[in-house]
Amino acid sequence: MSIATQPAADALAVLISGGVDSAILFAEALHDYRAVFPLYIRTGLSWEHTELRYLKRFLRALARKNGQSVFQPLTILDVPVADLYGTHWSITGDGVPDETSPDEAVFLPGRNVLLLSKAMLWCHLNDVPALALGHLEANPFPEATPGFLAAFQEAVNQAVDGSVQLVRPYAGLSKTAVISRGRALPLEGTFSCIRPRNGRHCGCCNKCGERRRAFADAGITDRTKYARTGATVH
């Protein structure tokens, strides 16, 4: 399946977290673009150490699957937020929203503002014309709307006299549909948890619940290793 919005000869950066959506987006981009740059923004959230380890493992698996390294090295950019978020659950790991909580419970104030500003500037300074995001159709947050993203793109480009495009190939898709697109990928190497336990998905946070439901709805075996007994869905 193609995600290309530009000719295959162009370069693309992908804002990748190691989660299912951005991982599949990155893997598909390899078929459509001459040079694909994985960008990870490290902000100091409580799960990032585990998330980054999963991401590196997934990228190694992709390289093995393709027989060679077919993408650019992982770039890690730092945007620390502890001084902004203080004792927020995303920093402390306490009171993490569970699997019964609504999507709004995991909103991180200004996250896209922080991530996209640095990622777009990186693209501008490195002559990469577009930045791809794994946003889905059901994203409920105000900083993920088409209007906000168009205005933000214009503002950042105006600030540096640039022309970096923000692209959202999955904006019309559900998580279940995206997982179906990635069924041939090593999805057990992706990471979705916001309360990891001993290097594993906890199995009971908001994001683990979303992940398990999406695999089940897609009819794909979930080979994720969950810390909570019996949480793996078959």
For residue 96, tell me if it sits in a domain.
yes
Which residue in the block uniquely carries the two structure tokens 């937020």? Answer: 81
Instruction: Give the CA distances from residue 34 to residues 37, 119, 168, in Å, rounded to whole numbers and listed in that order.
Output: 10, 19, 19
For residue 228, tell me if it sits in a domain.
no
Print pLDDT tens along the chain (234 aa). Answer: 566 655 445 899 999 998 999 999 999 999 889 899 999 999 999 999 999 999 999 999 988 876 555 689 999 999 999 999 999 999 999 999 999 999 889 999 999 999 999 999 999 999 999 999 999 987 778 888 899 999 999 999 999 999 999 999 999 999 999 999 999 999 999 999 999 999 999 999 999 999 999 999 999 999 999 997 544 433
For residue 233, tell me if it sits in a domain.
no
What is the C-alpha to C-alpha distance for residues 198 and 74, in angstroms, rounded to an integer? 24
- What's 146's domain CATH number? 3.40.50.620
What is the C-alpha to C-alpha distance for residues 108 and 44, in angstroms, rounded to an integer? 13
- Domain count of the fold of the chain: 1
Token pair belonging to 42: 């490290």
What is the C-alpha to C-alpha distance for residues 81 and 78, in angstroms, rounded to an integer? 9
Q: What is the pLDDT of residue 3?
A: 66
For residue 4, tell me if it sits in a domain.
no
For residue 198, tell me if it sits in a domain.
yes
For residue 229, tell me if it sits in a domain.
no
For residue 224, tell me if it sits in a domain.
no
Strands (E), 73-120: 75-78
For residue 62, tell me if it sits in a domain.
yes
Q: What is the pLDDT of residue 4?
A: 63
Q: What is the pLDDT of residue 230?
A: 45
Structural domain containing residue 16: 11-218
Q: What is the pLDDT of residue 84?
A: 96
Type of residue at 31 = H
Q: What is the pLDDT of residue 7?
A: 46
